[in-house]
Amino acid sequence: MAYNVDKSDAQWREELSPDQYAVLRQAGTERPWTGELLDEERAGVYTCAACNAELFKSGTKFDSGCGWPSFYESVNPDAVQLIDDKSLGMVRTEVRCANCGSHLGHVFPDGFGTPTGDRYCMNSISLNFSEKSGE
């Protein structure tokens, strides 16, 4: 798939920290309960740490107890790309930024009690947060 933001591997390595690169560009995962945005409760918008595209609003964030920031929907369906992931001997749905193709995390159909029933389980290191009132 062609993305709006198209950079070489060398450019990504130069712009991202080694930990960000491992998650965003190599589909790694940060350890649970360690992400800076896990307990973020202010109103605002979560953007892609690689390209700054808007991904999630704070009003869709919920405490799923999984150890990573969880959301029940993206800002719009075109903000993220969903891809079948059959790695690690299981079937999951990978979530990527639709603007730059960076790995964000996975979405699961176990967001019980949410309006959508979905749990977008995102790596904090894949996201930036901007405080905005009313989000």
- Out of 50, 79, 104, 121, which one is annotated catalytic? 121
Q: Is 100 annotated as a binding residue?
A: yes
Q: Are 118 and 42 in contact (CB under 8 A)?
A: no
How many residues make up the chain in this entry? 135
Decide if 121 is catalytic: yes
Classify the phi-psi angles of 97: left when phi > 0, otherwise alpha if psi is within -120 to 50, otherwise beta.
Answer: beta
Q: Is 97 annotated as a binding residue?
A: yes
The residue written with tokens 């790694």 in the block is: 28
Known binding site for Zn(2+): residues? 48, 51, 97, 100
Known binding site: residues? 48, 51, 97, 100
Residues belonging to the active site: 121
